[in-house]
Amino acid sequence: MNVIPDGHAANRLRPCHPDNRVENYLEHRWWSPLTVLDLLDDQIRGRGTAPAVTDPTNLTVLCGIEPEALSWQELGARVDDLAAKLHESGIGPGDVVAVLMPNSAALTATYFALWRLGAVAAPMPASYRQYELTRIVESARAVAVVTVNGLGDRTPSQEALGLIGQIPSLRTVFTFGPPASDRGVPLDAAPATENSVETVRRLSAALPRSVNDCITICWTSGTEAAPKGVPRCHGDWIAIGQAVQDGLETDTASVMLNPFPMVNMAGFATSLLPWLLGGGHLVHHHPLDLAVYLDQLQRYRVTHTSMPPAILTMLLRREDLRAAHDLSALRRVGSGGAPLPPGVVRDWQYSLGVEVINFFGSNEGVCLLGAPADTPDPLIRAEYLPNYGSAARTWATEVADRTTARLVDPATGEQVTAIGGRGELRLKGPTIFAGYLEGTAAASPFDEDGYLCSGDIFELCGQSGEYLKFVDRSKEIIIRGGMNIAPAEIEGILIDHPAVADVAVVGYPDDVLGEKCCAVVVVHDGDDITLADLVEFLRAKDVASFKLPERLVTVAQLPRNPVGKLQRRELRAEIVQAG
């Protein structure tokens, strides 16, 4: 089922799933009857003046905004203030609002303010530029953008304001931080009046709500050039958050440090939702700055965080860095996005006393997690994920009993049942999305039986098939520091360079970021090209910095099969072998 973008939504909320599916999930208690707003209100009442959310210490350097720390009561007041200002500017139920901001207390409050109004947030990484912003605003038919005036050497508010008049749906740009834009609507200027706040409270209380109301449209590149919208509702997110919470086990005493952009599965599932369910303290970070990150771990006595596998490995090797910072409060670290080195997970547990949770997930699908309660042996936990489709085991997270999983041989279409067999992971259950935003995907991601086709190849492992081992991504995305890059998108731009006759973009290993982009180029006869030329060409198109190639290889021709399909895996292997 697709959520249909219709511009201004005529004061109605947008459902995600068919009514019969929602009724089934609620009847079986696979979904909570609560909304994320109910969770927030419960924590505000119960936690009061306890710390709720804290800004990155380098926020001033990032975007000129003074860092702040809010209690739960203060967060509630900030949400009300922002909701009043957004409402005064015409934001209402069903409106889609694009959000491009760094991790911060302001970002957290903005999400909840939009949801108070019944609006839908379409978040994107702060590193996105006008190129990506244009496509997302158009795809979602967003009526507004919330962003910052400054971000490093950029002015995101000006990039967004430049789209007004070009995109019919877009009418307002809201801003945070100095300097205030002449045409933007500042959200951090004078507080909203008491009357405005009270009006919004009454409107919010009277708004009919459902756990099936769409609250976010996240974006995934997949293997296609255009971004694909992934609508999610209250029920989706709480089910996902509870699954992760069952592994993290956060509570009111927990301090969570979030280094991933809070714009999709990585940020929402591993930080925002467990924090909201547990009622602890959320400390923001991003982009990754190791010195700032280590200082935050020590300063706030962080108990839970997430790290890419490469950072786990590097910190384990760098005893000097660990000795210079007190990390004794740290209890659990979530990691994923790439295979975990078993020895690293073992040494974090036995030498440092920190348990590493193995995460696997996607914007569309479920979070599989290797939790210590399920797999005490860190060597097994690093290499294998639980098979929620196995009848041989029960798992710590209740979502396992509510999820059907199977491996399907992509060549034959047959289900894989033999130990050691490999196939595409397919999933069905209460954490699976309903379908892509209309107009953003060429084909349905579900098979004829209603299973989500993940595009990821796993091996069936264990004595009774109780484990899954990740083998490869059948999708060709490159994951650089936790950020997805679609090769086809970059290739589609570079092919217009006058010196480029043919081009492929592939990932190559990097010790810190996991992968980086390599542009493999066939140059027109008589022409020459440099990496700097390609980067300059992409920058002129306002492509986000993390997508820029960091290596160039020129070849006489690209490897293709008889029907012209690029043999990307073969090309990647050659690049890796060349070093």
Q: Which conformational region is residue 343 in: left (phi greater than 0), alpha (psi within -120 to 50 degrees), or beta?
A: alpha
573: CB partners within 8 A, 6+ apart: none
CB 567 within 8 A of CB 559: yes
Task: Encode pLDDT of 89-131 as tens digits.
Answer: 999 999 999 999 999 999 999 999 999 999 999 999 998 999 9
- Which two tokens mark 43? 């924590």
> Would you state the pLDDT for residue 561?
62
Q: 19-243 and 478-578: same fold?
A: no
Please say if the pLDDT value at position 72 is more than 90: yes
570: CB partners within 8 A, 6+ apart: 559
Beta bridge partners of 518: 506, 551
| Mean pLDDT, rounded, for 292-304 | 97
Considering only residues 169 and 478, tell me which one the structure prediction assigns the higher pLDDT. Answer: 169
| Mean pLDDT, rounded, for 2-31 | 74
Percent of the chain with pLDDT over 90: 73
Distance CA 207, CA 258 (A): 32
Distance CA 481, CA 306 (A): 12
> Would you state the pLDDT for residue 440?
87
Beta bridge partners of 167: 164
- Which two tokens mark 434? 């309903």
| Mean pLDDT, rounded, for 492-512 | 89
> Would you state the pLDDT for residue 1?
39
| Mean pLDDT, rounded, for 40-59 | 98
Is residue 484 helix, strand or coil? strand
The continuous run of DSSP H or E covering 98 comes out as strand 96-100
- SS3 for 545-572 is HHHCCCEEEECCCCCECCCCCECHHHHH
54: CB partners within 8 A, 6+ apart: 67, 68, 69, 70, 105, 281, 282, 283, 284, 300
Q: Report CA-CA distances (Å) from 505 to 31, 190, 516, 534.
A: 41, 48, 10, 12
Which of 295, 289, 291, 306 lies closest to 354 in space, CA to CA? 306
Task: Encode pLDDT of 467-476 as tens digits.
Answer: 999 887 666 7
- Which two tokens mark 391? 């009848």
CA atoms within 13 A on the CB side of 49: 0
> Would you state the pLDDT for residue 5?
42
- Which two tokens mark 111? 């999400």
Task: Encode pLDDT of 121-167 as tens digits.
Answer: 999 999 899 999 999 999 999 999 999 999 999 999 999 999 999 99
> Would you state the pLDDT for residue 25?
97
Which of 259, 275, 436, 438 lies closest to 362 in space, CA to CA? 436
Distance CA 334, CA 257 (A): 11
Q: Report CA-CA distances (Å) from 256 to 248, 276, 330, 349, 357.
A: 10, 11, 10, 19, 14
Please say if the pLDDT value at position 371 is more than 50: yes
Please say if the pLDDT value at position 62 is more than 80: yes
CB 142 within 8 A of CB 96: yes
The answer to which of 141-155, 213-227, 272-286 has the lowest mean pLDDT is 213-227
Architecture of domain 19-243: 3-Layer(aba) Sandwich (3.40)
Please say if the pLDDT value at position 480 is more than 90: no
Q: Provide the 10 A C-beta neighbour count for residue 156.
A: 27
Which of 7, 44, 37 lies closest to 117 in space, CA to CA? 37
Instruction: Tell me how far apart the terminal alpha carbons of the chain are, to the nearest angstrom.
Output: 45
| Mean pLDDT, rounded, for 351-373 | 90
CB 102 within 8 A of CB 126: yes
Distance CA 474, CA 546 (A): 22
Distance CA 424, CA 412 (A): 11
- SS3 for 392-461 is CCCCCCHHHHHCEEEEECCCCCCECCCCCCEEEEEEECCCCCCCCCCCCCCCCCECCCCCEEEEEEEEEE
Backbone angles phi, psi at 491, to 5 degrees: -60, -40
> Would you state the pLDDT for residue 8?
40
Query: Sign of torsion, CA 73 74 79 85?
Result: positive
Q: Report CA-CA distances (Å) from 204 to 48, 82, 102, 200, 279.
A: 21, 13, 27, 6, 23
Which of 378, 368, 353 lies closest to 403 in space, CA to CA? 368
The DSSP line for 187-223 is: SSSSPPPHHHHHHHHHHHHHS---TTBEEEEEEE-TT
Please say if the pLDDT value at position 572 is more than 80: yes
The DSSP line for 327-387 is: -TT--EEEEESSPPPHHHHHHHHHTT--EEEEEE--SSS--EEE-TTT---HHHHHH-EE-
CB 283 within 8 A of CB 302: yes
Backbone angles phi, psi at 497, to 5 degrees: -65, 135
Please say if the pLDDT value at position 4 is more than 50: no
> Would you state the pLDDT for residue 565?
67
Distance CA 500, CA 525 (A): 10
Distance CA 367, CA 358 (A): 10
* CATH code at 478-578: 3.30.300.30
Q: Report the side by side order of strands in the sheet with 96-100.
A: 185-186, 172-176, 144-148, 96-100, 120-124, 214-220, 228-233
Domain ranges of the chain: 19-243, 478-578
Mean pLDDT of all residues belonging to the chain? 91
Which of 467, 289, 282, 294 lies closest to 375 in space, CA to CA? 467
The CA-based angle 335-341-345, given to 5 degrees, is 65
Burial tier of 377 (Cβ tally within 10 Å: 0-12, 13-18, 19+): middle
Say whether the peptide bond before residue 179 is cis (omega within 30 degrees of 0): yes
424: CB partners within 8 A, 6+ apart: 407, 408, 409, 410, 453, 454, 455, 456, 457, 458, 474
Range 82-100 burial, b when 16+ CB lie within 10 A, else e: bbbbbbeeebbbbbbbbbb
